[in-house]
Amino acid sequence: MLLPRPKSEAIRRAVELGFASWLTITILSQHPNTAFDRLRTADKVGLLIPNWRFFAPTPAQHDYHLLYRTLDTDGEQSAWQSASQINKRKWAHAVWFPGRRQEKAIFDVCGELGRLIVRKDVKVADSAAYRLLRDFVIRHLDESDPRRVSLTGFQFLVVLYSGHDDSEDPQYSFISPFIRLSEPDPTDHAGDADHTGAADQLEHAA
């Protein structure tokens, strides 16, 4: 005669079965065939079944780098300088990496700009992607360049490169015309807010 299982044993088995089912569904839903996406219909909030197919089937193999050079009141151009920074990865970034949001936003906006360049029906300089990158560089100049008061304009460059693979040369994806800079006015907080707001959109676009 079989004795009834203790209630705690039944609960343990139910939990094990639940986790086993969740793991099975999670693994199956990573399959490239979109037919397996129907398994996600049970996840009404979209949080219970993770999607690890972000990089599939063709993972990103390049990064974008945003550069700029300036023009001063004497008509001299600076060398190309970095406006965006690709941070060296650390183990701690697996837990906390707020700077990744800006990197991802730069990647997405530069990618969008690259798609617009090949379109004949779009004026790139009027696009949101162009304005975001332009204002991001302006804010960088306002906050970080000690020569800002003597600058009259700048130009930005989007470079596509393969990161740590030195065997592949960088590709110049887009170069802007020279953009005129207004003389900074310490009392003009409205202008600062415009550029800061647009640049903040870029940082939080990811």
Same domain for 49 and 71? no
How many domains does the structure of the chain reveal? Answer: 2
Same domain for 37 and 93? no
Same domain for 102 and 134? yes
Same domain for 47 and 134? no
Same domain for 20 and 100? no
Same domain for 120 and 18? no
Quick one: pLDDT at residue 205?
Answer: 46
State which of 41, 56, 71 marks the end of a domain.
56
Question: What one-letter code names the amino acid at 116?
Answer: L
Quick one: pLDDT at residue 190?
Answer: 43
Same domain for 43 and 77? no
Same domain for 144 and 104? yes
Residue ranges in the chain whose pLDDT is less than 70? 1-6, 32, 45-46, 52-61, 85-102, 162-168, 183-206
Question: Could you report the per-residue pLDDT of 94-129, keeping only the tens digit for each?
Answer: 555 455 566 777 878 888 888 888 888 889 889 999
Same domain for 27 and 85? no
Q: Using CA atoms, how far apart are residues 72 and 198, in angstroms rounded to an integer? A: 24
Quick one: pLDDT at residue 5?
Answer: 59
Closest CA to 132 of 159, 108, 100, 160: 108
Same domain for 67 and 48? no
Predicted TM-score of the model (pTM): 0.57
Its domain, for residue 133, covers: 63-203
Question: What are the tokens at 76?
Answer: 């001299």
